[in-house]
A and B are shown apart, each in its own frame.
Chain A
Amino acid sequence: MVEITDLYKSFGKNKVLNGINLNINKGGIFAVLGPNGSGKTTIIKSILGMVIPDSGSIKVFETSVKKNSEYRHKIDYLPQIANFPSNLKVSELIKMIKDLRGQTNADQDLIKTFKIEPFLNKKLGTLSGGTKQKVNIVLTFMFDSPIIILDEPTTGLDPISLIRLKELIHAERAKGKTILITSHIMSFVEEVADEIVFILEGKIYFKGSISELKNKTQEQDFEHAIANILTENHA
């Protein structure tokens, strides 16, 4: 479904991606991990066509993402920092995105699940970070696309919403969707992810299941296994 070959990208002198090869051809939850600045968000933004790679190719459902915008109908994206136009109301934003992407009724359920009815008529600029993130989640999950990309989905969420989010992610996986997640909360990753893609210095360092990672690093604990990779490579 997503096929990345030899992806290179640098911002000025800073080489962020150094030949990424990644092939995801089945459903499931894939966690993209790596230290800060390792290029996680850059990969995600390249898939979405927001960052233009220096070289290499990205294919989504066999079509190249280059100079193409239609393929994004198949991707739901939750951006890292929920920045919205501040003088729009929540309901207007939802209406606008529907107008741009197509009609759906799933937003009603999501609004109820995340309890944002009281905020529907408030302007986005006045919302708290957590509430903005909930709106963000509603906007992402209201379309039924085969690929879902979540960039730091847990930011600012309260425990109840976090549980709801996990339920939502599991429900989407059950439908056979491909879900890409980046997160720094290791317990969250361990709970939801089927496979780990570990990125280090712009390259894929490890790809496989959590148990494989534990075996490779000979650590019992997932968090320590990740820490192990980092210290081995930076010590």
Chain B
Amino acid sequence: MLKILKYSFFDLMRSSWSYVYFAFYLLLGIVLLFLNNDLSKAVITLMNVIIVLVPLIGTVFGVMYYYNSKEFTELLLAQPLKRSSIFLGQYLGVAISLSMSLILGLGLPFIAYGLFKSSAIWDFSLLLITGVFLTFIFCALAFNIALSNENKIKGFGYAILMWLFLAIIYDGLFLMSLILFEDYPLDKLSLVGTMLNPIDLSRTLILLKLDISALLGYTGAVFKQFFGTSFGLIISFLMLSIWVILPVLRIVFKSRKKDF
């Protein structure tokens, strides 16, 4: 698997898209720091961007890479290699190279600005960690969709739809259900609802760490009680890990049965 990972990784590192992605984050980091002139404020703005954009890019790249490397995959399938190592290697190649672009692209300007001397370093690290988690989650989901759809256009469509659902529609439905059932105690439900969507989970996690939970009102207090504690933090990361592991398991399972 490591060999496949190596080749996928270097293949991506040489493609111009990785650099575009890297350059985009570099620019974003620099512009935010210039405009805000304050590390912790820049971190908050950055969160809003990361929470939506990282999943989108993970999804698009995942689907694109899978379909684009179809030839490479077929070449590998005829070699004495296990299927699971081929697909996991490719998946990890995409996810790791995207994470690298994210970490380096955002990390460099913040370090240059004096991140290590600032108190925002933990918030920033949390931001990067959730960003990496989201990359891994959405790449895995994208690979799943691509594996199940031979038709590129369909696969692409479903992948974008999945992102749209988790990033935007889910929130809408969630909010509507809260309004609809406002007569009932909803703190548990909203907690569970948040846990079930990796984007919501990451957003809440960062917001509460950034100590701006007052913005969230009463629910914020309940959330703070939960996420603010180390127990909540552990559960949240556990949930994010499950969001990575389940789709990855399905990649292994699905790839075993597929015809090429």
- Chain A 80-103 per-residue mask, 1 if CB under 8 angstroms from chain B, else 0: 000111111000000011011100
Contact A85-B11, Cβ < 8 Å, known A50-B74, A52-B257? yes
A15 to chain B, nearest CB (A): 14
Q: Which residues of the partner chain A approach B81 to less than 8 Å between Cβ atoms?
A: 69, 72, 100
Residue of A nearest to B8 (CB): A85
The CA-CA distance from A5 to B120 in the complex, in Å, is 66
The CA-CA distance from A79 to B69 in the complex, in Å, is 16
- State whether the Cβ of B117 lies closer than 8 Å to any Cβ in chain A: no
- State whether the Cβ of A48 lies closer than 8 Å to any Cβ in chain B: yes
**Which of A50, A96, A99 contacts B259, CB < 8 Å?**
A50
The CA-CA distance from A77 to B80 in the complex, in Å, is 11
A196 to chain B, nearest CB (A): 24
| Contact between A83 and B259, CB atoms less than 8 A apart | no
| Contact between A100 and B76, CB atoms less than 8 A apart | yes
The CA-CA distance from A73 to B82 in the complex, in Å, is 12
B70 to chain A, nearest CB (A): 8
Residue of B nearest to A72 (CB): B80
Q: Which residues of the partner chain A approach B188 to less than 8 Å between Cβ atoms?
A: none
| Contact between B259 and A87, CB atoms less than 8 A apart | no
- State whether the Cβ of B3 lies closer than 8 Å to any Cβ in chain A: yes
The contact size tier of chain A is: 20 to 34
- State whether the Cβ of B20 lies closer than 8 Å to any Cβ in chain A: no
- Chain B 60-93 per-residue mask, 1 if CB under 8 angstroms from chain A, else 0: 0000000001111011111111110000000000
Q: Which residues of the partner chain A approach B259 to less than 8 Å between Cβ atoms?
A: 11, 45, 50-52
The CA-CA distance from A84 to B74 in the complex, in Å, is 9
Contact A69-B80, Cβ < 8 Å, known A51-B259, A51-B260, A83-B74? yes
Residues 30-53 of A at the B interface (beta carbon under 8 Å): 45, 48-52
- State whether the Cβ of A191 lies closer than 8 Å to any Cβ in chain B: no
Q: Which residues of the partner chain A approach B70 to less than 8 Å between Cβ atoms?
A: 83
Residue of A nearest to B79 (CB): A100
- Chain B 1-13 per-residue mask, 1 if CB under 8 angstroms from chain A, else 0: 0010001000100
Q: Which residues of the partner chain A approach B83 to less than 8 Å between Cβ atoms?
A: 69
- State whether the Cβ of A70 lies closer than 8 Å to any Cβ in chain B: yes
- State whether the Cβ of B230 lies closer than 8 Å to any Cβ in chain A: no
| Contact between A88 and B11, CB atoms less than 8 A apart | yes
| Contact between A79 and B74, CB atoms less than 8 A apart | yes
The CA-CA distance from A101 to B79 in the complex, in Å, is 7
| Contact between B82 and A69, CB atoms less than 8 A apart | yes
- State whether the Cβ of B119 lies closer than 8 Å to any Cβ in chain A: no
Q: Which residues of the partner chain A approach B72 to less than 8 Å between Cβ atoms?
A: 84-85
| Contact between B78 and A87, CB atoms less than 8 A apart | no
- Interface residues of chain A, those whose CB is within 8 Å of chain B, are 11, 45, 48-52, 67, 69-73, 75, 77, 79, 83-88, 96-97, 99-101
Give 24 pairs: A residue, B residue, CB < 8 Å, sorted on A: A45-B259, A48-B78, A50-B74, A50-B78, A50-B260, A51-B259, A69-B81, A69-B82, A71-B80, A72-B78, A72-B79, A72-B80, A79-B74, A83-B71, A83-B74, A83-B75, A84-B72, A85-B71, A85-B72, A86-B71, A87-B11, A100-B76, A100-B80, A101-B80
Q: Assuming A52-B257, A87-B15, A101-B79, what are 14 further A-B pairs, CB within 8 angstroms?
A: A49-B77, A50-B77, A50-B259, A67-B256, A69-B82, A71-B80, A72-B79, A77-B78, A83-B70, A85-B71, A87-B14, A100-B3, A100-B80, A101-B80
